[in-house]
Amino acid sequence: MAVTEEAVRALGGTRELRLTQFPFRVGRERRSFLVDDRLPADVPQRRHGAAPPVNDAYLLEDSSGGLHISGAHFAIECIAERYFLVDRGSACGTMVAGDLIGGNRKGGRTELRDGDEVIVGTGRSRYIFRFHFAVTAP
């Protein structure tokens, strides 16, 4: 779930992103551009084409506040009904529940808990999300 307006814009205007496959890979959309100092709302969050995608979801980033999101930033894995955030060698890392995971291209991993705040990039990043487990009917 996107917490900030920057996170909503990064998801292409939606507040919620459902993860339907694992690992689920997330990174920065490198083809986006600003129009009137805003990200265009019609840029898709998924790419389609001949080359295999690097990510399952592409976040749009307004570079006026500095870059926080790497092209291949993190992945979410599900192992035995437990979820993990895995830094994919990002430059800035990812804050999970106040702890920095990865950064400086070194990678890292942590378990995700329901309600964890996930900040993509440094603690100064405005790309803030909240991780929630989906409750599915039997």
Residue-range domains of the chain with CATH? 5-130 (2.60.200.20)
Scan for tokens 């009137």, then name that residue. 36
For residues 10 and 97, give the distance between their C-alpha atoms in angstroms, rounded to a whole number: 20
pLDDT tier for residue 40 given thresholds of 50, 70 and 90 = low
pLDDT band at 35 (very low <50, low <70, confident <90, very high): low
Does this model's pTM top 0.85? My answer is no
Q: Which residue has the tokens 């808990």?
A: 113
Amino acid making up residue 138: P
Rounded percentage of the chain residues whose pLDDT exceeds 70: 78
Q: What is the dihedral of CA 74, 128, 70, 31, to 10 degrees?
A: 120
Phi, psi of 84 (to 5 degrees): -135, 140
Q: Which helix (H) or strand (E) holds 5?
A: helix 5-10
pLDDT computed for residue 37 by the predictor: 47
Selected residue with higher pLDDT from 46 and 7: 7
CA distance linking residue 133 with residue 85, whole number of Å: 13
